[in-house]
Amino acid sequence: MRVLIAGILGAVAMYVWSTVAHLSPLAMVGVHSIPGERILVAALQLSLGDKGGLYVYPSPSTADTSKTGPEGLIAYTPHGTGGVTPRQLGVELVLQVTESLLMAGIAALAGGGVWRRVAIAVLVGLIAGMATNFSYWNWYGFGLDYTLANGFIELVKFLLAGLVIAAMLRVKKAT
């Protein structure tokens, strides 16, 4: 039961940090606006219509590897919401509860003192930040500034959850 409670409280710490981080300028590090955005949006709507998804150019099936030129990745949503939706916030909360419960399980299995468990959480945070952000930097050309900022957000998320989880799972002294 303590592991479940620790995981839920860790998720609260993750969620608060993620919300603050993503509403701060930190979330926009490495994100740029496209000059002539309206022209690009019109072209995307004409070409893709209602077919949302992840698009890469040049197409892997038609790319001529002997030529160099622009490459890119577009996440296209034909009917955007214009902002953060309650559904997105709810999904993020479910994801972070799941992450934190898994982290609490790892911390409980690892045993040891508070700082050992916090160190394990930091290592998990590094793995989480690297597994996505640095692969996107490598394969898709995400900017290094964006990559480092988002890796930092993940690391701090797990550090804070780890502190809460480790405190909740600390060994109680016999009386």
Examine the pLDDT at 168 and tell me if it is beyond 80: yes
Q: Which tens digits make up the pLDDT trace of 106-157?
A: 999 998 889 999 999 999 999 999 998 999 999 888 999 999 999 999 999 9
3-state helix, strand, coil in the chain (%, to 5): 65, 5, 30
Q: Is residue 86 part of a domain?
A: yes
Q: Is residue 70 part of a domain?
A: no
Q: Is residue 130 part of a domain?
A: yes
Q: Is residue 59 part of a domain?
A: no
Closest CA to 58 of 48, 68, 44, 50: 68
Q: Is residue 108 part of a domain?
A: yes
Q: Which residue's structure tokens are 């030529």? A: 67
Range of the domain at 93: 2-31+82-168
Q: Which tens digits make up the pLDDT trace of 56-105?
A: 888 877 766 667 778 888 888 988 888 888 998 899 999 999 999 999 99
Q: 26 or 68, which is more confident?
A: 26
How high is the pLDDT of residue 63?
61
Q: Is residue 39 part of a domain?
A: no
pTM for this predicted structure? 0.83
Examine the pLDDT at 51 and tell me if it is beyond 90: yes
Examine the pLDDT at 173 and tell me if it is beyond 70: no
Q: Is residue 7 part of a domain?
A: yes
Q: Is residue 163 part of a domain?
A: yes
The total of structural domains in the chain comes to 1
Mark out the alpha helices in the chain (DSSP H runs).
2-23, 37-48, 86-110, 114-129, 135-140, 144-168
